[in-house]
Structures are given as structure tokens and as C-alpha cells.
A and B are shown apart, each in its own frame.
Chain A
Amino acid sequence: MSRIEVRSLSKNFGPRTAVEGLDFDVGAGEVFGLLGPNGAGKTTTVRMLTGLLRPSSGRAIVCGVPLDGDGEALRSRVGLLTEQPGLYDRLTARENLRFFLKLHHRDTKPAWEAARRWMQRFGLGGREEDRCGTFSKGMRQKLALVRALLHDPQALFLDEPTSGLDPESARAVRDAVGELAADGRTVVLCSHNMAEVERLCARVAVVKGRLLAVGTVPELRRQTAVVEIHVEGSAGAAGEALGPIVPPCVWVAEAHVLRITLAGGVSIPEVVALLAQAGVRIHAVFPAQRALEDVYLELTRSSETEAT
């Protein structure tokens, strides 16, 4: 059974449409990635699903609670890590957490002990009595994550959870996300970190005002082909030679390597011929394993092309 069911969900702010016609399901114990460029409507979607914004149309059920139902029940069952940690700087870490424990009516010793264990886990042990204003960005992010977990939510919405964290802390957070999911919690992860999404998420939705694609990472990768061409000189300059190709292909240049996502029936010989005609000296051509980043860029750029 789905923990989150989203059907034709839309949100308008006056005449502006932030998101339109979203449809997806997320199961219990699943880590679901929500990808999209800035302003694509990820935050708006999360805000609707956590009861902060009312949808303009469509419906969704989160942890058994319809969005137009009991807001108190919804907010008790979901945890939210916002893009900004939003801590009270003059209060200590303990006071920040106790405030939210009080709001959830869980200001008990066992709840506080559980919070302390999370703090220990994220390397914040012994900092309980320090003012949050003295914390680094990473420490603030980790404390905000502990705050999101305080009330033992069934579903967690995490907006860039490892942003600003050192590699060790980022790994601790990623491991914790995996464990939370293994424990039966649903996790919706908004991130620009493709490697993190690939590693953590069972399924991914790419949004840009509307749903561009949804599926497992291998499913998304299979949608189009990629070729990696090693050239002499700048791969960026070689990529410019692909201008006349129709439909336009998305390419990424790194030093002497040009990675091209082949769109709409464009073939590898066609691309190679075009580059050769433009005087590009080609050393090698490899069909490549597509990175999620390429899929993401292709989907978001092709939606731009459609829009224009």
C-alpha cells in the first residue's frame, strides 16, 4: 500500500502555475527522489504534502491523511527538513529540540534520550548545551535533521539533507536515511546531488512545473542512448559542432571527452560524421553508461525546448 498517493496535484500562486498535474505514489520504506532545477516546484510539492500549502486542484493522501483532511494528524505523521535549518540561534541545541518535543507533546525522558542518540549519531554529542548560533552550517543541518526525526514520523521530507556537510557527516546522514527506510519509513528526498540520489533512491521523479519522468534509475537511464567521444583538443569546442543536428542533442564536455545524449533517433554514425565534417579529430568512440545527471539534464532541457 502506498504511503503517499499523489493524483493530478497542482498549485497556482495567483496567475502563476508552480506545479501542474503531478501523479506519483511512494511506498512504505521507499526512498523517493524528487529532482528538478531551482524553481521547478519541488519545494512547493513538499510544502503541499506536509500540509503547509493547500493544493489548487488534485488530491493527495499522505500517511493515510488526505491533504484537505486533518492537518494536525498530517503534521504529526510527517517530518520535514527544510532547505534552511531554521534553528533558534539564541537557544541551545537541547532547547531547540525540547521546543519541538513540547509541540508534539512528547517532552519525555525517553523521547529526549532518542533525540540524544540521533545527536550522537550525527557527531553532535556533547554539544547539547551549546547555543545554535555557535554551530557551523553542517552542524545546524544535522540538528535540523534530528528535529525532523523527533516525533518518529512515518514519512520524512528532506530538502537537500547533505548540503553543507563534510563527507563524513554526509555519509552518516545517508546511512541514517537508508536505515530509516529499512525501518519502514517513507523518505522523499529533494536533492541536486545526483550521486546521492542514485545511491539512495529506489525511484526518482523529475519535475519541472510538471512531472517529466518517474521510475527507477535504470528505467530512466534506458530511455535514451549516450555516446562518449574522445577528441583532440577541447571537447567543448567540438560540442559546438553539433549545433545543426535535429532534434538537438544534449552534450557535456569534460577536457577531451564529449558525452552526448542522443535524442529522437539520432544515430552514433550521424554524430561522428558531423564532428568529422567540422574538422574534429576523433580518437575513440564508446557507447556509455548513462549517468542519472545526463538523464536529468536531458529531461529538463527537452522540457525547455518544448516550452519554447
Chain B
Amino acid sequence: MSFRLHRALAVSWKEALDLRKNPGLLASMLALPAVLVLVPTGVIWSWLRNPDTVTFRSMALYYDPTLPLNADPVRFMIDKLVLDWFGVFLLMPVFVPILISSQSVAGEKERRTLEPLLAAPVSAAELVLGKSLASVVPAVAITWLSFAVFVLAVDAVAWPLVHAPVLPNGMWLFGIGVVAPLFAFLGNGLAVLVSARVGEARLAQQLSALVVLPLMGLVGGQLAGWIRAGTGYYAVQGLVVLVLDILLIRASVRLFDRERLVSRWT
């Protein structure tokens, strides 16, 4: 069956409409960005309210024993927090597509809409692309918008100490522009794959969300000082995720076989 972009876009159009009319899902999608912006901003704000230089210096020396004596430890800790927070921020482009795609794929089974859809002239690749666009585009848009708010909030809070913008920096721009979309495809690919195998949107969501565990582990390694994050580190993460994305898309198209879906789920 030949690939037709208009059919993938039709699937995407329907998914976008459905998403707009699902206030519960929209609220869940916005909760995580709010937390990921407010928490670090609040931490920096509390640090600057009562900057205990001795405590901050000992914390800073833990992460960098070569820290010069004349360096400001609070500024160091702000930079360190901002650097490491990108690893946590990546949860957003992973998690938002999981919320959307679990609903859009397993939800078709739950609502018994799959059979009429599969009886229409739409191929597996068109379905996967249409559903993926409908989850990756909002996820990336939310991530970028949250980044903009995050930059404004951090710079506003840190200004009294730093007197210069902390963000955006090269690493964050690279990460948000290149790595975050790759992570969005990862979350979407996992959710599509899991949804094609399980019968319930909730179960698909729960299983797909397990992907955040290794990401949290990596962030834990950064906080413990075992992993030094930076542009190169996130570029390597991006490359690994790119390979996973390609594998997941291929597997998803194979799993969207009509025979398999119809005989198992309708």
C-alpha cells in the first residue's frame, strides 16, 4: 500500500481534535512542565534569600574540589543546578507523548474505534506517523514553551546575585533544540509500541512510563557527582536515543499490522 501524507495528516488532525477536547489529559500534560519550571526556580530563590556561603562552598567543593577560593559558591551551585536540571527537564518531552500516545492507540481499542479505522484505506505507516505527529508536536511545543518560561524565571530570580542572564546557554539551546525532540520520539515510540500490545490505555501509560527510571538514574548519577554532564554528554544521549527512535518506529509499523490488531483487539 502506497504512503500518502494526506492520510497521515488526517489521522494527526483527528488526534489533535480529540486531544483538545480532553481536559483531563490536557491538565495532566501541563502538570509536569509546571513542576519542572517551578521547582528549580524555587530552589534558586530560596538559596538567594539566605545564602549561607560556608555551606554552599562545602557543597560546591564536593562537586569541584578545584573550585578557586575567589569563586562565588552560590553562583557555582546555581550553574550546577541549571546544568543538571536539563537531565530532569528531558522527562517532559518523554512523558508528554506517553500520555498522548497511550490514549490515542490503546484508546482506539478501548473505545472500539479500531475496526472502522482499519477498514479505511490507511496504511500502518500512515497511522503511526499521524499518531506520532499528534503526540510529538505538542510535546516539543510544550517543552520549548516551558524552556522559555524557565529561562525567564531563572534569570529573574538569579539576577540580584548574577547581574547577567544564567540562561539560555549553548548546552541548553542544543539540548532543547536537538535532544529534546529525539526524546519526544522515544516516549512516543515506546507508548505506540506498548499500546499496540496491551489492551488498556492506563496499562500502556504505566508500562511506557517505566522509561523514566533509567533517566532518573542518570540524573541521580549527576547529583551524586559520578557523571559530569555537559553538551558532549547530552549529545551522546541524543545519539543513543536516535538509534532507539529508529528501531522503535520500525517495530511500531510492524506491530500495526491489521491482521494482528483486528484479531487481537476487536
Interface, chain A (partner B; CB < 8 A): 13, 47, 50-54, 70-72, 75-76, 78, 80, 82, 84, 86-91, 95, 99-100, 102-105, 131, 144, 147
**A103 to nearest B CB, angstroms?**
4
- A88 & B119 in contact (Cβ 8 Å cutoff): no
- B14 & A52 in contact (Cβ 8 Å cutoff): no
- Which of the 9-residue segments B5-13, B36-44, B84-92, B164-172 touches chain A? B5-13
Give the size range of B's interface with the partner.
20 to 34
**12 chain-A/chain-B pairs, Cβ below 8 angstroms:** A52-B118, A72-B121, A80-B115, A80-B119, A84-B115, A91-B17, A102-B9, A102-B10, A103-B7, A103-B11, A103-B122, A131-B21
In the complex, what distance in Å separates the CA atom of A12 from the CA atom of B259?
Answer: 12
In the complex, what distance in Å separates the CA atom of A78 from the CA atom of B120?
Answer: 9
**B240 to nearest A CB, angstroms?**
36
Residues facing A in B13-53 (CB within 8 A) are 13-14, 17-18, 21-22
- Residues of B within 8 Å of A84, CB to CB, are 112, 115
- A99 & B1 in contact (Cβ 8 Å cutoff): no
**B153 to nearest A CB, angstroms?**
34
- Residues of A within 8 Å of B120, CB to CB, are 75, 100, 103-104
Which of A13, A51, A78, A104 is close to B258, meaning CB atoms less than 8 Å apart? A51
Which of A99, A131, A144 is close to B14, meaning CB atoms less than 8 Å apart? A99
In the complex, what distance in Å separates the CA atom of A36 from the CA atom of B247?
Answer: 44
Q: Quick check: is B262 within 8 A (CB to CB) of the other chain?
A: yes
Which of A80, A91, A99 is close to B21, meaning CB atoms less than 8 Å apart? A91
**A22 to nearest B CB, angstroms?**
18
Most buried by A among B6, B120, B258: B120
In the complex, what distance in Å separates the CA atom of A100 from the CA atom of B259?
Answer: 21
Interface, chain B (partner A; CB < 8 A): 1-2, 4, 6-7, 9-11, 13-14, 17-18, 21-22, 111-123, 258-259, 262-263, 266
- Residues of A within 8 Å of B114, CB to CB, are 86
In the complex, what distance in Å separates the CA atom of A89 from the CA atom of B116?
Answer: 14
- Residues of A within 8 Å of B123, CB to CB, are 72
- A80 & B116 in contact (Cβ 8 Å cutoff): yes
In the complex, what distance in Å separates the CA atom of A88 from the CA atom of B263?
Answer: 21
Which of A54, A104, A144 is close to B116, meaning CB atoms less than 8 Å apart? A144
- Residues of B within 8 Å of A51, CB to CB, are 119, 258
20 additional A-B residue pairs with CB within 8 Å, beyond A52-B259, A72-B1: A51-B119, A52-B119, A72-B121, A75-B119, A80-B116, A80-B119, A82-B115, A82-B266, A84-B115, A86-B115, A90-B18, A95-B14, A99-B10, A99-B13, A100-B116, A102-B6, A102-B14, A103-B11, A103-B120, A105-B7
- Residues of A within 8 Å of B118, CB to CB, are 52
**B108 to nearest A CB, angstroms?**
9
The 7 closest A-B pairs by CB, nearest first: A102-B10, A90-B21, A84-B112, A75-B121, A80-B119, A86-B113, A86-B116
- Residues of A within 8 Å of B11, CB to CB, are 103
Given A51-B258, A53-B263: A102 touches B13 (CB 8 Å cut-off): yes
- Residues of A within 8 Å of B263, CB to CB, are 13, 53
Given A86-B111, A99-B10, A99-B13: A72 touches B2 (CB 8 Å cut-off): yes
- B258 & A89 in contact (Cβ 8 Å cutoff): no
- B1 & A54 in contact (Cβ 8 Å cutoff): no
In the complex, what distance in Å separates the CA atom of A54 from the CA atom of B259?
Answer: 7
- Residues of B within 8 Å of A75, CB to CB, are 119-121
- Residues of A within 8 Å of B113, CB to CB, are 86-88
In the complex, what distance in Å separates the CA atom of A71 from the CA atom of B10?
Answer: 19
Return the chain A residue nearest B118 by Cβ: A52
In the complex, what distance in Å separates the CA atom of A50 from the CA atom of B121?
Answer: 11
